[in-house]
Structure 1
Amino acid sequence: MKRIVVTGYGIKAPGIEDRQRFKDVLDQGLCTLEVVSGIGPNETDLVCGIIHNEYKRINGRNYKYYPRIARMAIAAADEAVKMSGIELKEGLRVSVIMGTSVGGLSEIEQYAVYSNNGQYDKFPLIGAGAGNPHSLSSSVAYHIGANGLVFTLSTGCTAGLDSIMMAKVLLESGQADVCIVGGSDAPISTGCIYSFAKLGALSKDLDIHTAGSPFSMDKEGFVLSEGAAVLVLERETDALERDTAIYGSIDNIYSNNDGQSIFASDLTGETMSKALKMTVGDYLPTYINSQALGLQANDTVEYIAYTNNFEDHSIPITSIKGQIGHAFGASGVMQTIASLISIEYDFIPPTVKTTGYGFGDLPILQETKYCDVNQVVVTSHGYGGNNTCMLLSKYLQ
């Protein structure tokens, strides 16, 4: 089987504009979240992860009227392609696959004011673009000049990792030469906030240093965050032929679904345990980069999957959600980039904010650990029932 490798990546996250800043945030255990006034139910305040850059102009092009998720993704893709040094020349089959959970919901809500009031004359001409989730991937394809296979996946929080899985299939089967993959979401909108507040899923804590505490049964609720993350994936042979830097290899990736109602998930953790088992096999990774985000049910599933696969509790586990919040469909690729950085610079980022209460036998890393990092497992699951795990390795020729 052809090895699939990462030759570039880009990230746009709260307080993070490039990979150097992301490295510093991870290494130092920094929190980039903030209190946003009046956006919660009954105009309450919420801790959120906000990206303040609007990305209206990128490389001289005007993207003012593009959906927010598309603008963030274009900026991240631009960074990833530049890092890879790849020339998107004629004949090179470049595929774009992007994942999102809520799509252009924020714009749809804005434009609904006009449609609900029958104000046809004020409804924007660009409304169709915002309402089409595929605008995300087609926007990235336009910006980088790709006209190969272009897909948008909307599988909830696993959408970013699922895009990597699909790209791996296309590259291994020879249907694409380069895949630009990732995820982008901007869930800080009234509908999204109200929906998850109704479920009791959002953190009500207004201290950024404690809100959204992974692996903490004495806390409850996660922090909504915006974000976009993009990878450049190629076959190893092609990357070597053009003599470019390789930052890691995608060894394995596996996905399944809980097969339950849209209002439920498999709280036994059995389907997530299988996804992790099928991903890891007999390997012993350096650590687990967990999706744990501060929801007791969600984090308990992570605990069960870990325990079912690593009974001796010898593999450290960590979550970066306490630092940057949870960006839905972009989160898995954000975790992937965090893992690539830890592989390159030999450290494991800490799980900030965790109390560990209720997870006492789980080897949660609470301080940065400097060590050789050779393999990382990235886990992701969420609303809709998908469970996706990936095994990422340091590249050794």
Structure 2
Amino acid sequence: MKDKIVVTGYGVKAPKSANIVQFTHHLKKGTCCLDVVTNLLPNGDAMIIGRIEEGLEEYESDTRFKRFPRVTLLGMAAGMEAVKHAKLSHLSDLKVGLFVGVSVGAIGDNIFGGSIIEINNGNLRNVPVTFSHFANYHSITSAIGHYLGIKGITKTITTGCTSSLEAIQDAIVYLKSGMIDAAVVGGSDSVLNEIAAYGFAKTKSITINQGLDDGAVPFSEKSKGFAISEGAGFLILEREADALKRNVKIIGEIEQVVSNNDGVFLYSIDKTGTQMIHALKEVTNGRKPDYVNSQALGWKVNDRIEELASKELFDHCVPYSSIKSMIGNPYGATGVLQVISSFISITQGFIPPTIRTQKDGFEAMNIVTEPLYQEVNEVAITNHGHGGNNACAYVKRYNYSG
């Protein structure tokens, strides 16, 4: 029998959530973890963000990590929580692979300390020695690996908002091939700065001068864009037989991840959603999941693709939800946080709500807007974003295969 790939641990850093316990609480309550700020855009314009306010104190006070960018610290913290949850130890002695999804990395982090300005003034001495390391995304991954004690296969996946979901896809391939016996896999991103704010404002994809009633609201015709957010999430993946030998609790099963690309011009967007629908159709394989944990984030061009998929594949009968209404869009970490939230809903019996939406313009869809307590056994997950990549996953309640 084909070996199942199971989850034995997870860890989270998300807006207003320093750990899994807090993350679970907010999912169950439908808590808005977003804020409105006026210090990132010109002229005091307002935008909506999701920031992490606690949970990094022990790292920030440790002189070993004083030059580390925030994205790395988030990954270290979430990764360690996952490792402890899975009761893994002596990682350097095991065939463990590390797979990290990163989309925007340390761009704009204060470790760069005005480097561009200094270079333009011809003063190279003021450029931080860390620049070349953390401008290289794989240095972020290797720093996380060093902290966790992983010396085996180490990969960085950077495919936009699908990065961490595609990191899971790669980890599954390595596990099924036998090249590794366990995978520490996830994603981390943090860009709450002027560079990101100006850049995404230019593309008209983020909220500007909208409040939390209207802005960054998934499945809402009124929303003018998404909320820039930061976060990190990590999973421990193992083959079922290995997890059973360790006598560790199995949280659930990841059946499949499918990814593809829209194949359109760099500055274009495929509004038909054809490739994303193909990926979702492949992972669902004719089944109707208990709900779809969707990419919808308040940017209409993305949310309309979710609507097209809902109609074509499920005739709007399957419930849809988006945790982005609570935590915003943490870029490369978004997929793994969707996976973790799906397993929380499976183990604790509820569908997390899409809060703040009135479903205006999306009335035909079956959108869950309040916490819905019921048995959840199977969840489909959708991701798509900049760069044209799409990724969909299918996760399930664990049942012993005998």
Q: TM-score, normalised by structure 1?
A: 0.96
Look up the match of 2:127.
Answer: 123
Deviations 1:12-68 (Å, cap 9, x if unpaired)? 011100111111111111111112232113342322111234836449773121121
Q: Give the Cα separation in 1 of the matches to 2:198 and 2:169.
A: 32
Letter of the structure 1 residue corresponding to residue 390 of structure 2: N
1:73 paired residue among 58, 72, 75 = 75
Letter in 2 for 1:337: I
- Determine whether 1:237 maps to 2:238: no
CA distance in 1, matches of 2:377, 2:255: 12
Instruction: Letter of the 1:314 partner, please give it.
Output: C
Which residue number corresponds to residue 93 of structure 1?
Answer: 95
User: 312, 321, 325: which is aligned to 2:328?
Assistant: 325
Post-superposition shift, 1:208? Answer: 3.0
Partner SS, residue 108 of structure 2: helix
- The correspondence for 1:143, drawn from 134, 140, 147, is 147
1:1-397 equivalence runs, <5 A: 1-53=2-54, 55=56, 57-58=58-59, 62-89=64-91, 91-107=93-109, 108=112, 110-311=114-315, 313-397=316-400
Q: Which moved more, 1:106-115 or 1:12-21?
A: 106-115
* AA aligned opposite 2:366: P
Please state whether the residue corresponding to 1:157 is helix, strand or coil: coil
Kindly indicate whether the alpha-carbon contact (under 8 Å) linking 1:67 and 1:129 is maintained by their aligned counterparts in 2.
no
Distance 1:362 1:354, change over 3 A: same
| CA distance 1:109–1:90, shift in 2 (3 Å) | closer
Distance change in 2, residues 1:391/1:109 (3 Å):
farther
Alignment TM-score, normalising by the size of structure 2: 0.95
Runs of 4+ in 1 over 6 A off after TM superposition: none
* Aligned-partner Cα distance in 2 for 1:94–1:114: 41
Q: Which moved more, 1:217-226 or 1:72-81?
A: 217-226
Residue 169 of structure 1 aligns to a residue whose secondary structure is: helix
Specify the SS of the correspondent of 2:162: helix
Q: AA paired with 1:355?
A: Q
Q: What is the distance in 1 between the residues matched to 2:345 and 2:394? A: 14
CA-based RMSD: 1.6
- In structure 1, how many angstroms separate the alpha carbons of the residues matched to 2:55 and 2:82? 18
Count of residue pairs the alignment pairs up = 396
Unaligned ranges ≥5, structure 2: none
2:120 partner letter: N
Shift of the alpha carbon at 1:340?
Answer: 0.9
Corresponding residue SS for 1:62: helix
Structure 1 counterpart of 2:96, one-letter code = V
Worse-matched range after superposition: 43-52 or 291-300? 43-52
Q: Single out whichever of 208-217 and 279-288 deviates more from structure 2.
A: 208-217
Identity %: 39
Taking the aligned partners of 2:140 and 2:376, their CA distance within structure 1 comes to 33
- Does structure 1 retain, via aligned residues, the 8 Å contact 2:220–2:358? yes
Inter-CA distance 196–109: structure 2 relative to 1 (3 Å threshold): farther
- For residues 382 and 109 of structure 1, the distance between their equivalents in structure 2, rounded to whole angstroms, comes to 29
Shift in alpha-carbon separation, 1:205–1:321, aligned structure 2, 3 A: farther
Residues 212-234 of structure 1: per-residue CA shift (max 9 Å, x gap) = 11011132211100111111111
Counterpart AA for 1:33: L
**After alignment, is 326-335 or 122-131 more displaced?**
122-131
